Structure 1
């Protein structure tokens, strides 16, 4: 069952996730909060632009954790969208798609340090765009 919220709730959680992330030292947990903050911010903007009331009014394909899809839906700059790349795992045996990063951070999948740093930079850029 999905929990539906409105634009103001999403904006408040986006700001709260960003603030909480900034207070953490552990990189994966901080990155996880940035991911969820960006997701909240992007969904809030879609709800606003479309004149919707809550996330219940979003089509199914926008109710997921796919930040790339949300960014494309909002027509974010192509150079920003292009930076949402998969991250290699630490041993480079696999890649984690940008939309699945929240799972890697939540469950403790070690990622390549450089790729992970770049993903965090992109998440912060998304949050700045949501402003």
Structure 2
């Protein structure tokens, strides 16, 4: 039996800022679809984590608490940064297109897009609006 350990790759504020810009620019080129959505998600994650590092005077993600460091929970990051409640309240799960009883948590949307899991169109569109709003906030906060 092969067991694997999950390794978290740590990066600094400037790397996260650069990734935010690269992911957002690449998503704009793609315009739409799962790949663009995935890049927007990761760009927002990079921006939020960079903001956390900056606000707390940290140099690397290795200095973040584990619950903020190794996960993709954008809602948790937004709450930690005390983003406006009106924005945080928009970060919610989406319904699966195949089974409307199945919910995909916002923190797991990157997996849905990466693996081709279809989401209910209006929920996915709302998630994309939220990602753009998060990216706008990050760009203002980080002045990039």
Matched, 1:81 2:88: yes
Could you tell me how far 1:27 is from its partner in structure 2?
1.0
Equivalences for residues 11-50 of structure 1 within 5 A: 11-50=17-56
- Shift, 1:26, TM fit: 4.5
Residue 108 (structure 2) aligned to one of 65, 82, 100: 100
CA deviation after TM superposition for structure 1 residue 7, in Å: 0.3
Residue 71 (structure 1) aligned with residue 109 (structure 2): no
CA RMSD of aligned residues (A): 0.8
Which residues of structure 2 form unaligned runs of 5+?
1-6, 140-144
Unmatched segments (≥5 aa) in structure 1: none
- Runs of 4+ more than 3 Å apart: none
2: CA distance, partners of 1:93 / 1:25: 29
TM-score normalised by L of structure 2: 0.89
Partners of 1:26 and 1:10 in 2: CA distance: 23
Distance 1:119 1:72 in 2: 17
Structure 2 SS opposite 1:12: helix
Q: CA deviation at 1:85?
A: 1.1
Deviation at residue 25 of structure 1 after TM alignment: 4.2
What is the CA–CA distance in structure 2 between the aligned matches of 1:18 and 1:52, rounded to whole Å? 24
Q: Considering only CA atoms, is the larger Rg found in Structure 1 or Structure 2?
A: 2
| SS across alignment from 1:93 | coil
Aligned length: 131
